[in-house]
C-alpha cells in the first residue's frame, strides 16, 4: 500500500513514523518532508512537491496510484486538496474546503457554534476598522480583556489578547489598516476572553462516527511560565490530567457530537482529524478554536501513544467502519520538547549544523522528530524556526518529562532554545 503524507513539520514526521508501523504499508512519500523524513530510510522518502502545490500532489497520486493520502497542515485543506483528490476517486484523510472553514474562517466557526449551541465565548465580527473601533469605544473598562482575531489563516499568529481599550484599538488598526495579516484579516472577530486552562482534544471522524486520541496540552508561549510571544507551540504532553473522564464526557456530549451533527445538517459533513482547542474552567469546557487537522506539537506526543494501527483506522474512517476497529492507546504518558532557533518567533538564523550526540537514546520510547531541517549532502542543517521535537514515552508523566529532557541534552545546534518547563503545568 502506498501512502502520501502532505506537509513538512514534526507533525508530518510523526505521522510518517506512525504510518510506517503498519505492516500493509510498503511506501510512504512525504511532500515535501524535511531532513528527518529524508533520512528515515526504509519505506519513507521525500517528494519534492510543496504542500500547497495541489496540482503537483494530485498528479503524483494519480501517476503513482497512491492508495491513501493524509493531509498534515491546514493550507492545502483551504486550497481544496480533499475535494480535488475525491473528484478523481482518490482516498484522502481530511475535510473538504467548505468543512475546513471550521479552521480557515474564525467568523464561520463562531457563527456555527452559536447556531448549534456549542459552548464558546461571545463574539462580534467586523469587516472594517471604523465599525470595530466604534464598538470597542462603547465598551466599559470592565469589558476587557478582549481577544482580537484575524478570521483567516495567519500561521497561528493572528490572535491578540487586548488587556485594554487602547490595545484592542491598536490590534484593529494593525489588522485592518496596516494589514499585518493580509487578507486573513478582511474579517476580524472580537470575542470575550475565556478564563481557565487550555487543552487539545483530537478526534478522527467519518462525519458521523468518531474515535478519540488522548487529550493533550500545548505550550504556546516562547517563555517559561507561559510568558512572552505566542509561537506555533513549544512543547506538549499527553494525556493531560486536566481533561478528566467527566470533562471528556462533556466535550463529547456538548461539543463533538453537536459539531459533527451540525456540519452534517448544514450539508457540509466534516471528515478527517478534528482538533478542538478547549478552555476548561471548573471542569466546564468551551471551544477556543477548531483546527481542521492534528496539532503540532501535540501530535508528536499523542501519536506515539497510539497502540492500534493508525492506517487501519484511517481506512476504516473512509469505509464507514470506524466503530468496528480497535483504537487503543498505550498506557503511560508522552512529553514533547520543541527545540527552536534562537530568536524565534521573531527573526532567526538558519543553516546551522544539527548534531545528534552518540548518547542520544536510540530507543522506541524516545523519538526525534524534525521540522525546520534540511538534509544537505548528508549534513543536517536548520531551515526554520521550530527545528526539532524530542518526544519520550514513559510509564508516568514525570518519567516522560525527565526522559525527554535527558535526550534534549544530546541534540543541538548553534543558538538552540527550548523551554525547560514543558509538562510542569500538569503538577500545578
Ligand atoms: N498547537 C497549535 C496548533 O497546532 O495550531
- The verdict on the CB of residue 72 being under 6 Å from ligand 1 is no
> Which residues make Cβ contacts (< 8 Å) with residue 172, sequence separation at least 6?
126, 129, 132, 133, 136, 148, 188
User: Rounded to whole angstroms, what are the CA distances from 369 to 252, 291, 388?
Assistant: 31, 21, 6
Residue 14 to residue 352: CA distance in whole angstroms: 23
pLDDT in tens, 55-65: 999 999 999 99
HSE, side-chain direction, 13 A CA sphere, residue 239: 17
Nearest CA to ligand 1 atom 4: 295
Residue 185 to residue 152: CA distance in whole angstroms: 6
**Inter-residue contact 314 to 93 (CB < 8 Å):** yes
At 196, list the grid cell.
Answer: 481557565
Instruction: Identify the pLDDT of residue 36.
Output: 93
Question: Pairing mode, if any, of strands 221-223 and 210-212?
Answer: unpaired
Residue 334 to residue 222: CA distance in whole angstroms: 20
Fold of the domain built from segment(s) 197-324: D-amino Acid Aminotransferase; Chain A, domain 1 (3.30.470)
Instruction: Identify the pLDDT of residue 156.
Output: 79
Residue 321 to residue 209: CA distance in whole angstroms: 9
Residue 91 has pLDDT above 80, yes or no: yes
Residue 34 to residue 37: CA distance in whole angstroms: 5
Phi, psi dihedral angles at 42 (to 5 degrees): 60, -125
Which range among 9-23, 350-364, 406-420 shows the weakest confidence by mean pLDDT? 350-364
- 190: enclosing H helix or E strand: strand 188-192
Nearest CA to ligand 1 atom 3: 295
Average pLDDT in the 360-380 region?
A: 89
In angstroms, what is the span from residue 138 Cα to ligand 1's centroid? 33
- The verdict on the CB of residue 289 being under 6 Å from ligand 1 is no
Instruction: Identify the pLDDT of residue 100.
Output: 98
Mean pLDDT over each residue of the chain, to the nearest integer: 96
- The verdict on the CB of residue 295 being under 6 Å from ligand 1 is yes
Instruction: Identify the pLDDT of residue 31.
Output: 98
Instruction: Identify the pLDDT of residue 376.
Output: 79
Radius of gyration (Cα) for the chain, nearest Å? Answer: 21
Measured from the Cα of 236, ligand 1's closest atom is 1
Phi, psi dihedral angles at 369 (to 5 degrees): -105, 135
Average pLDDT in the 101-113 region?
A: 98
- The verdict on the CB of residue 233 being under 6 Å from ligand 1 is yes
Question: Pairing mode, if any, of strands 197-205 and 210-212?
Answer: antiparallel
Instruction: Identify the pLDDT of residue 85.
Output: 98
- The verdict on the CB of residue 296 being under 6 Å from ligand 1 is yes
**Inter-residue contact 384 to 371 (CB < 8 Å):** yes
In angstroms, what is the span from residue 141 Cα to ligand 1's centroid? 31
Residue 49 to residue 331: CA distance in whole angstroms: 37
Residue 305 to residue 116: CA distance in whole angstroms: 32
Average pLDDT in the 31-41 region?
A: 94
**Inter-residue contact 278 to 288 (CB < 8 Å):** yes
Residue 428 has pLDDT above 90, yes or no: no
Instruction: Identify the pLDDT of residue 243.
Output: 98
pLDDT in tens, 316-369: 999 999 999 999 999 999 999 999 999 999 999 999 999 999 999 877 899 999
2-94 and 197-324, same CATH topology = no
Fold of the domain built from segment(s) 128-186: Dna Ligase; domain 1 (3.30.1490)
Domain ranges of the chain: 2-94, 128-186, 197-324, 333-427
Residue 303 to residue 216: CA distance in whole angstroms: 11
Question: Pairing mode, if any, of strands 146-150 and 221-223?
Answer: unpaired
Residue 182 to residue 172: CA distance in whole angstroms: 13
Whole-model pTM? 0.96
Phi, psi dihedral angles at 181 (to 5 degrees): -110, 15
Closest CA to 5 of 93, 132, 75: 93
Nearest CA to ligand 1 atom 2: 295
Q: Is 379 exposed, middle or buried (0-12, 13-18, 19+ CB in 10 A)?
A: exposed
Residue 27 has pLDDT above 90, yes or no: yes
CATH number of the 333-427 domain: 3.90.600.10
At 422, list the grid cell.
Answer: 514543558
Average pLDDT in the 380-393 region?
A: 97
Count of C-beta atoms within a 10 Å radius of residue 319: 12
pLDDT in tens, 129-182: 999 999 999 999 999 999 999 999 998 789 999 999 999 999 999 999 999 999
User: How many residues does this entry show for the chain?
Assistant: 428
Counting residues of the chain whose pLDDT is more than 70, the rounded percentage is 100
In angstroms, what is the span from residue 275 Cα to ligand 1's centroid? 9
> Which residues make Cβ contacts (< 8 Å) with residue 67, sequence separation at least 6?
1, 2, 3, 91
Q: Note the Cα 305 to chain centre separation in Å.
A: 16
In angstroms, what is the span from residue 252 Cα to ligand 1's centroid? 20
Residue 377 has pLDDT above 90, yes or no: no
In angstroms, what is the span from residue 236 Cα to ligand 1's centroid? 10
Residue 305 has pLDDT above 80, yes or no: yes
2-94: CATH architecture: 3-Layer(aba) Sandwich (3.40)
In angstroms, what is the span from residue 336 Cα to ligand 1's centroid? 13
Amino acid at each position: 500500500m502506498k501512502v502520501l503524507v502532505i506537509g513538512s513539520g514534526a507533525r508530518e514526521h510523526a505521522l510518517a513514523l506512525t504510518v510506517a508501523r503498519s505492516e500493509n504499508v510498503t511506501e510512504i512519500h512525504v511532500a515535501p518532508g524535511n531532513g528527518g523524513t529524508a533520512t528515515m530510510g526504509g519505506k519513507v522518502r521525500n517528494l519534492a512537491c510543496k504542500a500547497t502545490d495541489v496540482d503537483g500532489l494530485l498528479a503524483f497520486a494519480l501517476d503513482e496510484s497512491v492508495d491513501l493520502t493524509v493531509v498534515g497542515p491546514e493550507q492545502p485543506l483551504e486550497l481544496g486538496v480533499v475535494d480535488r483528490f475525491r473528484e478523481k476517486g482518490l482516498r484522502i484523510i481530511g475535510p473538504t474546503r467548505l468543512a475546513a472553514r471550521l479552521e480557515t474562517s474564525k467568523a464561520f466557526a463562531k457563527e456555527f457554534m452559536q447556531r448549534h449551541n456549542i459552548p464558546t465565548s461571545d463574539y462580534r465580527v467586523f469587516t472594517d476598522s471604523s465599525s470595530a473601533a466604534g464598538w470597542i469605544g462603547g465598551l466599559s473598562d470592565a469589558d476587557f480583556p478582549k481577544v482580537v482575531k484575524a478570521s483567516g489563516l495567519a500561521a497561528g499568529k493572528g490572535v491578540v489578547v487586548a488587556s485594554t481599550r487602547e490595545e484592542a484599538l491598536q490590534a484593529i488598526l494593525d489588522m485592518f489598516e496596516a494589514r499585518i495579516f493580509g487578507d486573513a484579516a478582511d474579517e476580524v472577530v472580537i470575542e470575550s476572553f475565556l478564563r481557565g486552562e487550555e487543552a487539545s482534544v483530537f478526534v478522527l471522524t467519518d462525519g458521523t462516527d468518531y474515535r478519540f486520541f488522548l487529550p493533550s496540552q500545548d505550550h504556546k508561549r516562547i517563555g517559561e511560565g507561559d510568558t512572552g510571544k505566542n509561537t506555533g507551540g513549544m512543547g506538549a504532553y499527553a494525556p493531560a490530567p486536566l481533561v478528566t473522564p467527566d470533562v471528556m464526557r462533556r466535550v463529547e456530549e456538548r461539543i463533538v457530537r453537536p459539531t459533527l451533527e451540525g456540519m452534517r445538517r448544514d450539508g457540509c459533513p466534516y471528515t478527517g482529524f478534528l482538533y478542538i482547542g478547549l478552555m476548561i474552567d471548573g471542569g466546564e469546557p468551551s471551544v477556543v478554536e477548531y483546527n481542521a487537522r492534528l496539532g503540532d506539537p501535540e501530535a508528536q506526543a499523542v501519536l506515539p501513544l497510539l497502540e492500534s494501527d493508525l492506517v487501519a483506522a484511517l481506512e476504516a474512517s473512509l469505509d464507514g467502519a470506524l466503530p468496528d476497529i480497535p483504537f487503543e492507546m498505550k498506557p503511560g504518558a508522552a512529553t514533547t520538547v520543541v527545540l527552536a532557533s534562537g530568536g524565534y518567533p521573531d527573526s532567526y538564523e538558519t543553516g546551522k549544523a544539527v548534531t545528534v550526540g552518540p548518547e542520544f537514546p536510540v530507543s522506541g520510547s524516545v523519538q526525534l522528530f524534525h521540522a525546520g531541517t534540511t538534509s544537505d549532502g548528508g549534513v543536517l542543517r536548520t531551515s526554520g524556526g521550530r527545528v526539532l521535537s524530542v518526544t519520550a514515552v514513559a510509564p508516568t508523566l514525570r518519567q516522560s518529562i525527565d526522559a525527554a529532557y535527558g535526550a534534549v541534552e544530546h541534540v543541538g545546534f548553534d543558538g538552540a532554545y527550548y523551554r525547560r518547563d514543558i509538562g510542569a503545568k500538569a503538577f500545578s
